[in-house]
Amino acid sequence: MQVFTPVVTETFPVRKDWLKRALGVSTGLWITEMPVDEMPTVAERGEAIICRNTMFLELGGAYLLGLDGNLIVRRYTSEGLGTDHGPGLLTTADAQLKGVVPIGQILARFGLSRVAPKV
């Protein structure tokens, strides 16, 4: 089994009350780049995303997962969608597959929105 080890490249302070209000949690969070273009509704490849450490999958959550040494992004859903559940979804049956390793739950897209000067 491949183990994914995060490498901290830099840190910066963020108010915990802001994180708690915006995301519902304020600990175990980290920022990384979206590794793939599989879920544009979550984020585009290369965009910054905020994740939290997790060992378990919650229904409806979007996750960064390890599978056979590769990083994938999937939304976790219950069974009953049939065999053609489309890209970007991981069913509870799929999650039982060997090699699926939860890396983190994707909580938000992280970005800056520039305010244009008023002329």
For 27-84, how does the pLDDT look when each residue is reduced to its tens digit (9 = 90+)? 989 999 999 888 888 999 999 999 998 888 888 899 998 888 888 898 888 754 444 4
Distance separating alpha carbons of residues 23 and 28, to the nearest angstrom: 12
Contacting residues for 64 by C-beta, under 8 A, at least 6 apart: 32, 35, 49, 51, 71, 72, 73, 103, 104, 105, 106
| Residue with more model confidence, 88 or 65 | 65
Mean pLDDT of 21-31: 91
Mean pLDDT (the chain) is 81
* Contact status, residue 55 vs residue 104, Cβ threshold 8 Å: no
Report the pLDDT value the prediction gives residue 92, as an integer from 0 to 100. Answer: 65
Instruction: Name the amino acid, one letter, at 54.
Output: T
Long-range pairs, 85-93, Cβ under 8 A, ≥24: 87/38, 88/38, 88/39, 90/57, 90/63, 90/65, 92/59
Would you say the pTM of this structure is higher than 0.85? no
Instruction: Name the amino acid, one letter, at 75.
Output: R
Mean pLDDT of 104-115: 90
Q: Within 13 Å, how many C-alpha atoms sit on residue 20's CB side?
A: 5
Burial (CB < 10 A; 0-12, 13-18, 19+), residue 101, is middle
Report the pLDDT value the prediction gives residue 60, as an integer from 0 to 100. Answer: 87
Domain parsing of the chain, residue ranges = 16-57+68-110
Question: Token pair of 40, please?
Answer: 């544009």
